[in-house]
Amino acid sequence: MSDNNFRVAVVGAGGTGAYYGGALARAGAQVTMIARGAHLDAINKNGLQLQSALLGDFEVECAATDDMSTVDRADLVIFAVKSWGTDAAIEAMDSGGMVGEGTLIISMQNGIDSEPLLTKAFGAEHVLGCTATVSALISEPGVVKQAGGPGSLVIGELGDQQPNNGKTSVRVATLVEQCVEAGLAAESHENIEMALWMKFTFICALSGMTALTRKPIGDIFAQKTTTKMYRQVLSEVAAIARAKGIEITQELVDITLKTTQGREPFIIGSMGHDLIAGNPIEIGLLNARVVEMGKELGVPTPANFAIEAALRPHEDGDRNG
């Protein structure tokens, strides 16, 4: 890419945000990482180090801050904060000059509610639909390790912003090209709502089951009972999607299960990692959200309810408990 004029702000430079933002920085983009604490200090002192199974190991020097009011207008905002930080992050973005004319925002959050919240705050013209699938985490301050996952990035226009001719918009095509040039597995999608719901279905099962069992997917799929429950979680989320007009069939559920069974056996979802570390977990955004929507739509969600019931006591983290 080698475009020093392409300005990127990564709001939430944890594992996921730093992986994608780091790749763009290595390719020449002007990237600012929004981080905090020891991670922020390490990036400012030593740069960001990525240890990636997909991109290789490398270091990049980039700006880093915890004060979004100091960040100038970005061409692209990567929104990757944990769910409990969403409202505060949006407010901080809105108070500064980060989002201006022509700024595009893509969310890499888990869940299904991020795009509506960002659209409400900044307008539909700024928000693209996006799914990011990668297994990456902060291994130590300033160091992000990406050990698994395809590292895929799927981007598309939402709702009324979609071109009438059914083709990819110029701005989506341009962004995808920039990401591909940075070595990322990026592609456009003409039905991004479907892609978002497929990701939500996948992550509710992956994060929900690995957090519930405190085990990676290899151990889950080694047992008939946990494999059966994993599939039931997928099926329940797909049923919610169909009730909302998104046609995720049982065949797609089975394809998702088979694909996940073919992934690295050591993978643990982000909620599983957070639970094991004693951090707050995103249960309200994932399985509990499925239960909530199930009640509204009259769709039974017993497997997701079991996960919610078991994990709600850990929602705020265990470090002080």
Give me the pLDDT at residue 2, please: 57
d(CA 149, CA 54): 9
Residue type for position 42: A
3-state SS assignment for residue 267: coil
Find all residues with CB under 8 Å of 319, minimum gap 6, and list them: 278, 279
Rounded CA gap, 116 and 66, in Å?
Answer: 25
pLDDT of residue 40: 98
Type of residue numbered 74: A
pLDDT score for 167 = 80
How many Å apart are CA 187 and CA 179, to the nearest integer?
9
Percentage above 70 pLDDT, the chain: 97
Structure tokens at 85: 């930080």
| Gap between the Cα atoms of 35 and 251, Å rounded | 40
Per-residue pLDDT of the chain (321 residues; tens, 9 = 90+): 556 799 999 999 999 999 999 999 999 999 999 999 999 999 999 999 999 999 999 999 999 999 999 999 999 999 999 888 899 999 999 988 999 999 999 999 999 999 999 999 999 999 999 999 999 999 999 999 999 889 999 999 998 777 766 689 999 999 999 999 999 999 999 999 999 999 999 999 999 999 999 999 999 999 999 999 999 999 999 999 999 999 999 999 999 999 999 999 999 999 999 999 999 999 999 999 999 999 999 999 999 999 999 999 999 998 544
Query: Do residues 48 and 31 lie in contact, with contact meaning Cβ atoms separated by under 8 Å?
Result: no
Q: Which pLDDT belongs to residue 84?
A: 83
The span from the CA of 284 to the CA of 84, in Å, is 9
Place of tokens 């309810």: 305
Amino acid letter, residue 161 = Q
> Which tens digits make up the pLDDT trace of 205-215?
999 999 999 99
What is the model's pLDDT at position 321?
42
Nearest by Cα to 275 from 210, 191, 224, 198: 210
DSSP state of 103: -
Domains of the chain: 7-190 (3.40.50.720), 194-314 (1.10.1040.10)
pLDDT tens string 132-158:
999 999 999 999 999 988 999 999 999
pLDDT value of position 166: 67
Query: According to the model, what pLDDT value does residue 1 have?
Result: 59
Cα–Cα distance for residue pair 110/86, rounded to 1 Å: 11
**Cα separation, 158 vs 128, whole angstroms:** 6
